[in-house]
């Protein structure tokens, strides 16, 4: 993804900026670019890993991805990163614990402390 191009039209005074990156490994590149271009993103949503899909591949997926599944906060900027296991699968049509299907509902709240 060309992060700089994607964010070029976003106003700097936007209430919230949400960015979607399919692969969690791409999030690291996005974070580096954000630091270079001095743009703010409040939330990054990703997927792709299916949270390991099956317990036998879960450790491999966990080791190969800095952001594997769940909610993370990137300390330097405070950006929130959420990686969903999604509702679908890759390869065999199964999902096993711990990587169950999910539909995520995210409620955004305004941060009144940083105005």
12 or 54, greater pLDDT: 12
- Stated pTM of the model: 0.72
Task: For CA atoms 85, 28, 14, 1, give the dihedral sign.
Answer: negative
Cis omega before residue 98 (within 30°)? yes
pLDDT attached to residue 90: 60
Report d(CA 35, CA 21) in Å as an integer.
17
pLDDT in tens, 59-106: 666 666 777 788 999 888 889 999 887 776 666 666 555 556 778 888
pLDDT attached to residue 15: 80
For tokens 């936007």, what's the residue? 14
Pair of tokens at residue 49: 């890993």
Alpha-carbon dihedral of residues 65, 25, 70, 110, nearest 10 degrees? 150
Catalogue the E-assigned strands of the chain. Answer: 18-20, 43-46, 70-74, 79-83
Report d(CA 68, CA 75) in Å as an integer.
17
pLDDT in tens, 6-48: 888 888 787 888 888 877 778 888 888 888 887 888 999 987 6
Pair of tokens at residue 110: 């305004």
């Amino acid at each position: 993804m060309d992060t700089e191009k994607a964010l070029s039209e976003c106003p700097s005074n936007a209430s919230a900026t949400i960015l979607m990156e399919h692969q969690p490994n791409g999030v690291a590149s996005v974070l580096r670019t954000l630091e270079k271009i001095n743009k703010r993103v409040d939330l990054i949503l990703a997927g792709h890993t299916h949270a390991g899909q099956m317990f036998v591949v879960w450790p491999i997926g966990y080791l190969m991805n800095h952001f594997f599944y769940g909610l993370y906060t990137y300390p330097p900027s405070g950006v929130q990163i959420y990686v969903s296991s999604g509702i679908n699968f890759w390869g065999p049509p199964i999902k096993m614990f711990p990587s169950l299907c999910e539909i995520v509902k995210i409620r955004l709240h305004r941060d009144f402390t940083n105005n």
